[in-house]
Amino acid sequence: MQYFGLEGISQASFVLELILTIAATTLFVRLLLAYFKRRDTSRLSHRLVVGVLLLLAAQALRSAHFIASHGGHSNLIQSALNSLMVGLITTTIAVTLAFFYAYGLTRTSIRGKMLLRIVALLPLFAPTMLFGLSLVYMFGNKGIVTSGFFGKLPWLAFDINLYGFNGIVMAETAFTFPPAMMILSVALMHTDARMYEAARSLGAGWLRIFFTVTLPSVKYGLLSAVFVCFTLSFTDFGAPKVVGGRFNVLAVDIYKQVVGQQNFGMGATVSIILLAPTLLAFAADRIVQRRSHAVLTARSVPMAPEPVFWRDLLFGTFCWTTALAVLAVLFTAGLASFVAMWPYSFSHPEIYPKLWTLSNYLFANVGGGGYNAFFTSLRMSAWTAVGGTVVTFASAWLIEKTQGAERLRQAGYLLSITPLALPGLVIGIAYVFFFNRPGFSLPFVSFQIANPFVWLYGTMAILVLSNIIHFYTVSFLTATTALRQLDKEFEVVSESMSVPFYSTFLRVTVPICFPAVIEIAAYYFVSSMATVSAVIFLYTSRLPLASVAVVNMDDAGDTAAAAAMCMLIVGANIAVRLAAEGICWVFNRKTRAWRK
């Protein structure tokens, strides 16, 4: 047998692989039969995940010869353990910080809640490399803190040994904090005040109320935040690439094997190992969500926090300190992008008298593509926003609002939430193998099938497609939520009046859901601008991208130019976000009377 041109798979491995494949096929067949027999498949959806894991195990066995031959000198097992440790520690820190930050925003009377919420969400607009670059400028060998503010405050100087585990965890914490805070804020807002009144009437103290009322009421949101943070930190590529040093993780190993050594076989093997924990986390999250129940009922009383001086002072201090830390990360990268020669323009002004400059934004004599890469990313993100919004909203409408084919619609919903478990690097390397292959041979027969999609490789279309798939699930769930808020009577009345379905869709459904459509488009644009993992294997010299340019500039030592490119990405994303908010505000103002 051959696997990516490798031979030597043993007979025992082949038999075990065949058993796993048959088991996976059996699960898929049983799931399909459940659909056609009109059984409730909500409790059977885990079979799809189990089947995929069995297929991954079969693929891992096919790669056994490769791992045995190359796993020793590539430190594959150590990288997997390192990635697991980073994911666990980052998840613990990020979820803890996000919980208390969200608690301060929802359960206290601190001042400036709107500003605190905006600051906490700012990292969503930045590529993950920016967090690594900012940490280098603050805690690197010549960083602001490490050098005691360039020798001016030597008594404040200390070294945290940034490069390696410490730096990766710090950068990943900044990266995963915003989504965890968003999830936990929603969970903490939906609380019945009667439960707290009953607990206080029974004489329970604040600590006992916290553990017996607060935590149980948000346990499902808390678990979702844990799974999201673990998946993001375990599969992230940008931050470990910048501050990882000699601390290897799986995501960077894939990049080194594919880009550095053109070793696609090992890259595929590491991708399988990277995918397995994320699929397990995804399956666990779906199981938890299936067991969740409504916290608020029709008789629930919304909770309004009352001012308590010591509590508000404590949480106000914590939230504003955390917000200042987030701003410090963004401000440091922005500051460094305008410095002529970091750090010597500060430490040795007699040698480098010029302090501020705009030359870093000219991208002269640096690799990566400069403004060509930036404008290419803008075009790619715009096409992703337009195409992704149309495909996502149309798919959600077909699944939620059409009649008949119930089993098919349930299968479509299940497949629509599956991309959430796929890391960007895995999508990228899978697209390389699929779209760059001229044909496929059927097993056990000498029959070749031409690949009709090979022309997409190396074009803008494959970049847009990878981004749509990568960010599809969140957009799909947003569209589904908006569509479920519409009364089904719209379709029933339209059908009774013989109004074409497309007319109802364009004249009723889309206008009512217009804010959600704009939200989906903005999400696609911002995510496509900031992502690097999904496109790092798919871009070409004719189509350079801004996020990939940051990686190349950092590799070449042009950190100031890399910081400048990061700030351009942040600026573009904030501008698009503000434009989306403005469009929604104008639309809501124009349609206020109609909506009432």
Say yes or no to pLDDT of 307 above 90: no
Instruction: Tell me: do 186 and 212 sit in the same domain.
Output: yes
Count of domains for the chain: 3
Please report which confidence band the pLDDT of residue 287 belongs to, taking 50, 70 and 90 as the band edges: low
Give the domain-ending residue among 9, 40, 62: 62
The mean-pLDDT minimum among 43-57, 321-335, 393-407, 533-547 falls in 43-57
Please report which confidence band the pLDDT of residue 595 belongs to, taking 50, 70 and 90 as the band edges: low
Instruction: Tell me: do 282 and 428 sit in the same domain.
Output: no
Those residues with Cβ within 8 angstroms of residue 104's Cβ, 6 or more apart along the chain or in another chain: 110, 116, 315, 316, 318, 319
Domain with 57, as residue range(s), is 1-62
Give the number of other Cβ atoms within 10 Å of residue 407's Cβ: 16
Percent of the chain scored above 70 by pLDDT? 69
> Per the domain annotation, does 510 fall within a domain?
yes
Average pLDDT of 404-433?
A: 78
**Burial class for 498, CB neighbours closer than 10 Å (0-12, 13-18, 19+):** exposed
> Per the domain annotation, does 58 fall within a domain?
yes
> Per the domain annotation, does 454 fall within a domain?
yes
Instruction: Tell me: do 469 and 555 sit in the same domain.
Output: yes
For residues 585 and 257, which has the higher predicted lDDT (pLDDT)?
585
> Per the domain annotation, does 345 fall within a domain?
no
What amino acid occupies position 557?
Answer: G
Highest mean pLDDT among 28-32, 139-143, 323-327, 483-487: 323-327
**Burial class for 242, CB neighbours closer than 10 Å (0-12, 13-18, 19+):** buried
Highest mean pLDDT among 259-273, 374-388, 428-442, 512-526: 374-388
Q: What is the DSSP string of 60-107?
A: HHHTHHHHHHHHHHHTHHHHHHHHHHHHHHHHHHHHHHHHHHHHHHHH
Q: State the Cα–Cα distance between residues 237 and 253, nearest whole angstrom.
A: 9
**What pLDDT sits at residue 28?**
54
> Per the domain annotation, does 353 fall within a domain?
no
**What pLDDT sits at residue 383?**
95
> Per the domain annotation, does 192 fall within a domain?
yes
Say yes or no to pLDDT of 360 above 70: yes
486-544 pLDDT, tens per residue?
A: 666 666 666 667 666 667 777 777 777 788 888 889 999 999 999 888 888 888 888 89
Instruction: Tell me: do 446 and 536 sit in the same domain.
Output: yes
For residues 585 and 200, which has the higher predicted lDDT (pLDDT)?
585
The mean-pLDDT minimum among 244-248, 261-265, 466-470, 527-531 falls in 261-265
Q: Rounded mean pLDDT of the chain?
A: 78
**What pLDDT sits at residue 7?**
43
Is the full-model pTM beyond 0.85? no
Strand, coil or helix: 16: helix
Q: State the Cα–Cα distance between residues 124 and 527, nearest whole angstrom.
A: 8
Percent of the chain scored above 90 by pLDDT? 20
Q: State the Cα–Cα distance between residues 510 and 394, nearest whole angstrom.
A: 10
For residues 261 and 108, which has the higher predicted lDDT (pLDDT)?
108
Q: State the Cα–Cα distance between residues 215 and 70, nearest whole angstrom.
A: 46
Radius of gyration for the alpha carbons in the chain, expressed in angstroms and rounded: 26
Q: State the Cα–Cα distance between residues 459 and 31, nearest whole angstrom.
A: 37
**What pLDDT sits at residue 507?**
72
> Per the domain annotation, does 340 fall within a domain?
no
Instruction: Tell me: do 183 and 247 sit in the same domain.
Output: yes
Instruction: Tell me: do 441 and 507 sit in the same domain.
Output: yes
The mean-pLDDT minimum among 52-56, 473-477, 483-487 falls in 52-56
Instruction: Tell me: do 231 and 83 sit in the same domain.
Output: yes
Question: Closest by alpha carbon to 565, among 554, 578, 580, 577?
Answer: 554
For residues 347 and 64, which has the higher predicted lDDT (pLDDT)?
347
Average pLDDT of 425-451?
A: 77
State how far Cα 109 lies from the chain centre.
31
Strand, coil or helix: 366: coil
Say yes or no to pLDDT of 122 above 80: yes
**What pLDDT sits at residue 363?**
87
Q: State the Cα–Cα distance between residues 127 and 466, nearest whole angstrom.
A: 17
Give the domain-ending residue among 12, 27, 62: 62
Instruction: Tell me: do 52 and 85 sit in the same domain.
Output: no
For residues 83 and 254, which has the higher predicted lDDT (pLDDT)?
83
Please report which confidence band the pLDDT of residue 32 belongs to, taking 50, 70 and 90 as the band edges: low
Instruction: Tell me: do 313 and 456 sit in the same domain.
Output: no
Give the domain-ending residue among 295, 323, 351: 323
Say yes or no to pLDDT of 11 above 50: no
Please report which confidence band the pLDDT of residue 557 belongs to, taking 50, 70 and 90 as the band edges: confident
Q: Structure tokens of 243? A: 């501050």
> Per the domain annotation, does 329 fall within a domain?
no
Instruction: Tell me: do 244 and 112 sit in the same domain.
Output: yes
**What pLDDT sits at residue 2?**
42
212-241 pLDDT, tens per residue?
A: 766 777 777 787 788 888 888 888 888 888
The mean-pLDDT minimum among 65-69, 83-87, 122-126, 139-143 falls in 65-69
Instruction: Tell me: do 37 and 118 sit in the same domain.
Output: no
Say yes or no to pLDDT of 48 above 80: no
Instruction: Report the Cα–Cα distance between both ends of the chain, in Å, rounded.
Output: 67
Say yes or no to pLDDT of 405 above 70: no
Instruction: Tell me: do 166 and 281 sit in the same domain.
Output: yes
Give the CATH number, domain containing residue 177. 1.10.3720.10
For residues 30 and 91, which has the higher predicted lDDT (pLDDT)?
91
